[in-house]
Structure 1
Amino acid sequence: MPAADDGDPAEHFAIRAINDVADRGYDTILSLKFPYNQASFPAPGSPQMAAELARLDRVLPTVMGKVDIMTIGNEPFIESLPAERDQRLNAFYETVARHVIAHRREHCGAGCGTRLYMGALNRLDLPDRRTPAAERWMTFVRETPEIDGVDIHPHLPAPENAQAFLDYILPRMRAGQTFLVTEFSLVWHWKRHLEDPVAADFAQRHGFPPGTKVWQVIKAAIDEPFPQRTWRDFLTSSPWFTSQSTFLRDQMRLYRGTGRLAVATYGFKQDDLMVRNFGPDKDPWLLNSVFATYTVKPRGEGLSAPNYWLGAFKAQQRT
């Protein structure tokens, strides 16, 4: 949302891109991101809140009725000051949501093609994240008829932790509401293994010294992208990775099995933030991606190499 201050939102690359693919017949989801992790939430009725709503009034006409789903918020319990993850967070997002609802009613009408969700909740597998503010978040979702449901981001240390997300949200939604899973991964499982030594046979075959650690191999691939066979050999020689080979299939089965899933999406490509200053403390998002844009040599001009997950990802499109 702060980018709305930089010029016409219709010319922002993200809005241009999403409207372009919508025009070509693809289904689209747009999340409205409010980064308040370094500043306090504006209070309802304040000049600061008026400025935030003015940003919304510049953005909403460019996408309302064009995108299929609009998520109000991205990761509110991360994109906020820790001390303000309380009723102040709720008051802010509820004010924003009511403004979006009013805009849709006034400018898009009863048959508007854009559905509204509140998003997204993180780490509901941890008891300390199931706070009074999270409870109020779900109460607002349930009691606001214009909201179709809630978004969740199950980034997990183990696949079985995803169940806690469903156990939390499903009983707190009204009948007929659905949920989104616009991000999910095993990033916290991968991170636990960055300091592991790589398999000895992999190190020997590919010229790494004995005892080379996982993060050092990833850093080497970032610095000089590997041939696809080498990157795949690195992953498939790692039991901590191959033990999770059915993750996409199993997670989609879990979400679909509720009968309440609207849409799930998965990380498509590595980006520059994932590879910047990579080291043992870096969150290894790049291991999730369907395409290995930065760690594997491209197949040709404009053709990124597939990552390990491409086959599983394609299989889910056929399910």
Structure 2
Amino acid sequence: MSVKPQSASAPFAGPFALGTLAAADGPAFPALVDSEEQVLDLRTALDDPALTMRDLLERWPAVLPRLRALVADPGAVRRPLADFRVLAPVEPRQVFQSGANYRQHVIDLHVAHRAPDDERPEEERRAEAAEIMDRRAAEDLPYVFIGLPSAITGPYDDVTLPAWAKKPDWELELAVVIGRPAYQVSAEEALEYVAGYTIANDLTDRATVFRRDMPQIGTDWLRSKNAPGFTPLGPWIVPTESVTDTGDLRLTLKLNGEVMQDESTKDMIFDVARMVSYASQSTQLLPGDLVLTGSPAGNGMHWGRLLRDGDVMDASITGLGAQRTRCLAEES
């Protein structure tokens, strides 16, 4: 099931974006969507009946010029976007997720989790946290962990809140889509390996982030972040050439119409290039893989209001479109 977006599509930057679509009873297929919300089936346009989005990204440097030509071709066969269901744009092999990457968010956490015997005023504690963040940006490394592709769902699909998830929360994030194999690349060259960008909402059950039975072993990202549907993705992959500045994109998440997150990527501690470079130092990034870049301030724990049955989240990022996700409690 899914909840319909407010319109067939939200605007995206540039002349085209890529998506994975399906007709009512048909298979999923990779599509080019133009600014007039018209769709080209890339299986037909590129003469490859078995083509998937990941196949397309495997050939990204060679196929990008053909996509530019297709969007400008008046003879290419197009159909209205409204005829199709919008799915998650890509099925990655690997998902790299980032924590504690927005300055204000981490400062808020630092202040909120003060030691019981710390009686200093909040202003002093905030100043201390800001100094730590500045030092971390200059001297430290990003915090990256692994997510599961099985948690991904479409941008308008309903998300089931498992009965065991007592504190489900939202985390709107800019997601990087890899377009070339990348291993041990520098930050200076990292963006050359990026095909484009999309939207991810990295849902998290706060109650299971830390193991209560063995607190000394730290975080349990498997349980807290990887339930089926816990990563709504899309709707589009917008090519890098259409996203002029990843350092100043606005992330906005509304819960039942009320703004909860509203922040610029200017607040990132580690930018996109440093995130991609860092992830590539330990493992090879593959075409179609995702690098999620962290979530800004305004999560449910900040507001004291977590997700529950019937909630609707509207999430958008400048130039990348928007997603709308409804939460349903798991039936007992």
TM-score category of the 2 structures, normalised to the smaller one: under 0.3
The structure with the largest alpha-carbon Rg is 1
Q: Which of the pair is proportionally richer in helix?
A: 1
Q: Which of the pair is proportionally richer in strand?
A: 2
TM value normalised by structure 1: 0.25
